[in-house]
Structure 1
């Protein structure tokens, strides 16, 4: 097997053209990545795209290569519009198989499709995006490769959107701002497509950023409102270790108790060294009742026996890889018919890690999201993108390390504006956490 060669360029299209010029249209793409190249003395580093590719070997199944080429080319055509691929199309095996097997039993429509593809190919043809594998057939693991192909397509979509944005100062400003926001390409493409539909070519930077805020706000799910009124309820906080669940529980409890609601904080994090003692000491210092739950049904028993309007459960933190923790959480939730589950994530966490956490905890029936440490980052695009992708509203955000400061209720407009400006607006003193706990029945 030939050794891969390395190609660098300022854009994905340019890099692929270098691959085609040197290795031909049947080249095997091994990997693609972004990189920074040192600038000249006194100049900033330059962002480049690196593509590693190798010559096709006779052992590479040509039929599979053709299928891969057709699949990527078709997906790239969709990306040329600047719109994100529908998740159902990206992930549904039946639809993917239909694309791959398009040469079987297709009648007159095939000719039309061929003419349509030929026009696109004349402008831009991608080398065979067939990722090398350890001797396995090209499509032996189609599901694993869908994500890689989708990433490629999203990169093409964003690149073409970037080219179109140069024709409009407003769209260019929105594109540049999103580029700094750590928002996934799929969500960013949807946001920019909406911005593009709202703006004309002669619109300036400020109008472009306002349109960006409007577009993000339109895509964000409505804020989550919780209702403790009536029967006692349970609010369960889940998420990775260090996300701020314990502090959040205390902040919520203090704010609600100041407004004459009876609130107890319970914890299932009883096996970590020092955790129970830390929680009890914090509760004593802040005047918040604290209980420890050692068995899955302890929380349900506490809810039934206490006189609390709301019991906030602080669970043991993990990123989702602990099966024992998932089993414990599932057992507890099964005993709680009236409960809300909030996934607590630091706004400083990378978008990719936030998505991992959402996927890990989604089977537990998430009600919404909480983003902590919003004051510690100017890249709120990760939080907004996670909420949009997961279709989960934001219940609360925190903006200080002061445990006495109440969490802010979820606010799509504030989050969207933070994405567009890189900073969160100052708090409204009249926005207690109770507002998020006052949903009409």
Structure 2
């Protein structure tokens, strides 16, 4: 890691000017994820404080949007809502779902721990409840996208209270993140490689991963491929670099047990060493990786990367991960947020869920209800304060992308990054144009 000799750009805090390896273009990189650090924090708070911080932080911006949308309509608290009076109310949603699993279920006499978990927990009789600082009320009406919404979303609704105490919704308003800065004009094409789900150590044929590494370091493909790979300024591994390792049987000897646990780490170390010796590499923890389970996941411990952890170009980062390259801001997760939203909504399009997460202005609305997270008491770091240029989620079933328009003509590129072990696909994002395209490694025909 060194200063670029030809760069006259003033670097802000946490920015680093990366000089590419021989034949590889350089870039200006900034890690923007300091808010996800848990250093000095303790798991001693109640989760109610996190919901309160979410409501307090989102309310000012959402209230302003609601006033602009419903100019002549009065704002009310839930306690002050009157029957038949048109008004709008702001609060946090709770989705009542009979099928939602409960931690007390295991104490039920009929509980079967081996029962297969359903793909979704939704049902026709699910309903939404809104809660503010003083009370709660049930929301009804076709204007409310009940099947799409999940617990934890802060929303403003317009309507009237009806007989029985329910609130008949006639319109809704979500918090739109603030505008992002425009991408500084860059004359040359540079790329960020997004990949996830390497599943190193799953005992399957590692040929796909070997080819991927050789491609990324510029040792594979035609002259065109090598020129393209030389323009990859950074590689981001969005979680699940390691496969899930079953706990070794106690019947195995101590040496065999140790081997079962350490062999995947040794294999991962080889791949990371090869990559980080040639191209800057960010590695995010995921659901399967040896890191804390609750979000935000902290960077992998250096010992998990072996000798590769000593390389300057290996960057162990948080999940979620927020960074910028040459002024283009990236925000992404290892996919747990989209997986959880998928389970608790009727929506089957994961790209749509990623879009809704941006529309709601929150990366992980279902945490801490159905997705574990740290009990913050002074902030909610998962709030999306400004629209990133690229918003991605790793470890998804398939690749998809979409350019969505934010307010006043700005746009965000949404990307679902598929599991590499399952699809053999890596995504290249052009930081100049924000366009992206997949590259797939198919080894099925080899040896056939």
Q: Normalising by structure 2, what TM-score?
A: 0.29
Q: Which has the larger radius of gyration?
A: 1
Structure with the higher fraction of residues in helix conformation = 1
Q: Which has the higher contact order (CA 8 A, sep 6+)?
A: 2
